[in-house]
Amino acid sequence: MLGALLVAAYLVWVAVHSTSGHGSTTLISFRVLDDTRVEARYTVALEPGDTVRCTLEALDARHGEVGVLEEDIGPSATGFVERTTVIRTTGRAVTATVGTCPVLPR
């Protein structure tokens, strides 16, 4: 029983500390608007009061980067933000991704 509690406590600690210093992101959807734009809808979970800088990428059919955008998000009183952002591209994108979102200094 004690061993199971220790393992559970360790897993919680790892989950909390593995995202420390970063916002946790989820790509909800993306939509190719035309040959020069793709729209990404995503969420960011962050500590209330934190501001993060997220990097969004648009990729072509060969997984090459055709667009990149950095977007500052926050501070958020609730710790949860949903965004819809248009990424300009140099060629037709087939997907969009949300990369890391490091916390900015206060």
How many CB atoms within 10 Å of residue 43? Answer: 16
Radius of gyration of the chain (CA): 17
CA 82/CA 19 separation, integer angstroms? 18
Specify the pTM: 0.76
> Structural domain boundaries of the chain?
22-98
Q: What is the pLDDT of residues 6-51, one digit of tens each?
A: 434 333 333 444 445 888 999 999 999 999 999 999 999 999 899 9
Of 11, 97, 9, 79, nearest in space to 1 by CA = 9
